[in-house]
Chain A
Amino acid sequence: MEKDININFFKPVGEFMTRDVKMKRLIIAIWAVFTYGFLLLLKLVAEPESTVEVTLSTGEVITQVSGKSFLTETQFLGFPFHYWYSAQFLILLFIFLCWWYCKFIDKLEAEFSSK
């Protein structure tokens, strides 16, 4: 090793790691937006007049939106859309993301081992 090298996710060193980290960021960004962005979306588009009472663990009873919206009232394959999205589509997306990353990194490794 030439000199003192610091490893930091935000400051990758070496070409291999730089390209690898770039891909990782992309995958994590997609993962976060599709999982938690959708949750936020459900909350944002919820019809304000459809409310429910929820008893909190503290014993307090609050009134909040039920989350009813075009996302929950549209039928897709028989499902309420949001239910299908969480129960089936997200898992499929996770598999795809893993598959995509594995393809990418295998190619990157092959490229570097032939150098």
Chain B
Amino acid sequence: MKRMLQWGLSLYFVLVAGNVFAKENLSLNEGEVRVFPAILMISLLILFILVGVFSKAKDTEDYWAAGRGVGQLGGGMAIASNWMSAASYLGMAGLIYLKGYSAMAYIVGWTGGYVLLLVLMAGQIRRYGKYTAPDFVGDRYYSTAARLMSALIVILISFVYAVGQYKGIGMMFNWIFGINYELSVIIGTGVVLAYVLISGMLGATKNMQVQYVVIVITFFLPLFFIANKLGYFSAVPQIGYGAAVWDIGHGGNGISAAAADPSFYLPFANNTAYHWFALCITLMLGTAGLPHVIGRFYLVPRVSDARWQVVWGLFCIALVYWTAPCYAAFAKFSNIAGVTGVTISPDAIVVNAAELAGLPQWFSGFLAAGGVSAAFSTVGGLLMAGSSAFAHDIYFRVLKPNATEESKMKVARGGTIILGVAIAVIAMNPPAFIAQITAVAFALGANTFFPMFLLGIWWSRTTKEAAIVGMIVGMTVTFGSMLAPKTSLFAYYVPFTSSAILGVPLVLTTMIIVSLLTKEPSAEIKELLYRVHNDEA
């Protein structure tokens, strides 16, 4: 745990020293408590904690795998809310607002990955029947070292991912309560830890369903009014905003042709096709290699349910992803139309869009509260994944195989607290936009877990040496792309958000070569794989 802290901290300082990331405006509200949004936010937090308390985890089995009894739609909603973080709710719209069509790679990347996940992994992983991603790695690659390394990577991914979420929580608390950003992060940390510790994952799963409903309602409702106010088709604003995109680029609805900004919709006005591709494929492969997403397939009793859960999950996600670009377009429209007097920050553009449209404050309050809910549900899942990697995969499987349920539980809780606090420290000084920080976590997942699962499931010749070397190469590429000077040619071709463009082909090649050079896995492993692929048992 201590080592993990050191890792995170030194990584962070190197990043700051390298000045990889730009500074931006984090404070949107100085000292004013916004009454309705504050009441809404506090009621939601109380609701989440109550739901957690009433579905309290009984023992460790529950704490990790939620009793394996979650229905399809329920599971889909849990996948969706676990998945839709502040990056989906706040971050994506912010980047589309800034970069127009170039940022569409986030929308496509974060949905398209599910096709790969379903087709290549979901059923097989469920048939394999393990609790966590490191469990799979440890067994498939018959190696304690591989298990340990993958557990560390799980913790790292959770860590990076959660930093972006804390930033979202901090900015929204600042907007609602007027307390400064740093204090907002500290308070947010306290609340997240409280409910994860009280409830465990069973509570978290229930909570995720409640949070999904909150996310969808808060995200949809204000949009009808914004569209209506700006004069667009408001019955289905997800269609209505199309005309706004057109007007932003061509002029119309009060925007003169001279003021129009075609770079918002033209595909290659802000970036190259190569970078669109690199980012999109990184997010897709990362989706298929993210431990806390893969982990959700163990929660269902039957293989078929595991697969249908993906369909439902993707549908629940799509509702929000069809909606996010609306906020970017409407904010951009108001902006070009010359609305002033609103403090704008890209990562708060969803909230700003309602302010820019001149709606009463409680509309923005809805969005701010929804943004926090989105961040909470994801942080909950991440803290669980990170702490169970520590308690289950490192402590129980390696350090103390005869540990009692009680001591496992204690270690899991201790791990959650340390992880939660460490993330808060880093989030005090956020290194990039929310969606970008999150993309780094995906790049790490794509460069390490994706090749390991892909080859592990689909090529029985893959050896443990290959897995270990593969993880080292994958981490080197991910962190290398973050450390490379921003203006270097390497950083141009392998941006820190898109490092899987180099990482995945390199790791796959390395793993194949190393496998062929080392001793073949035993017949048992092959037999196991045969069963995973053939429904004969």
Contact = CB atoms under 8 A, between A and B. Distances in A.
Interface in A2-30: 4-9, 12-14, 16-17, 20, 24, 27-28
Interface in A36-81: 36, 39-40, 42-43, 46, 52, 54, 56-59, 64-68, 72, 75-80
A64 B271 CA distance: 9
A4 B526 contact: yes
8 contacts: A4-B523, A14-B533, A66-B267, A72-B267, A78-B243, A79-B245, A83-B104, A88-B238
Contacts of B240: 78
A17 B119 contact: no
Contacts of B246: 75, 78-80
A66 B268 contact: yes
A75 B252 CA distance: 14
A6 B455 CA distance: 13
A57 B233 CA distance: 39
A40 to B, nearest CB: 8
Contact of B314 (A39, A76, A95): A95
A35 B107 CA distance: 12
B268 A46 contact: yes
Given A6-B461, A67-B269, 16 more contacts: A27-B119, A31-B116, A54-B271, A56-B492, A58-B492, A67-B268, A72-B267, A79-B243, A82-B267, A84-B242, A86-B101, A98-B115, A101-B118, A102-B118, A102-B304, A109-B303
A90 interface: yes
Interface string B224-258: 00000000010000111011011001000000000
Contacts of B101: 67, 82-83, 86
Given A79-B246, A83-B242, A83-B265, A7 B115 contact: no
A34 B240 CA distance: 25
A15 to B, nearest CB: 9
B322 interface: yes
B262 A66 contact: yes
Nearest to A82: B267
B473 to A, nearest CB: 21
Interface residues of A, number: 64
A36 B277 contact: yes
A94 B314 contact: yes
Nearest to B531: A1
B111 A90 contact: yes
Contacts of A20: 533
Contact of B266 (A43, A52, A75, A78): A52
Contacts of B269: 52, 54, 66-67
Shortest beta-carbon contacts, A-B, top 9:
A79-B242, A67-B267, A78-B242, A78-B243, A7-B460, A67-B268, A9-B458, A7-B529, A66-B266
Interface residues of B, number: 69
A14 B263 contact: no
Given A92-B318, A94-B111, A58 B487 contact: yes
Contacts of B314: 94-95, 98
B179 interface: no
Contacts of A113: 535
Contacts of B243: 78-79
Given A13-B530, A77-B242, A91-B322, A57 B486 contact: yes
A114 to B, nearest CB: 12
Nearest to A79: B242
A31 B321 CA distance: 18
Contact of B530 (A14, A79, A94): A14
A78 B239 contact: yes
Contact of B325 (A35, A43, A78, A87): A87
Given A16-B535, A78-B239, A52 B277 contact: no
A14 B269 CA distance: 50
A35 B111 CA distance: 11
Contact of B534 (A4, A14, A99): A14
Nearest to A28: B119
Contacts of B242: 76-80, 83-84
B266 A87 contact: no
Contact of A87 (B311, B322, B486): B322
B147 interface: no
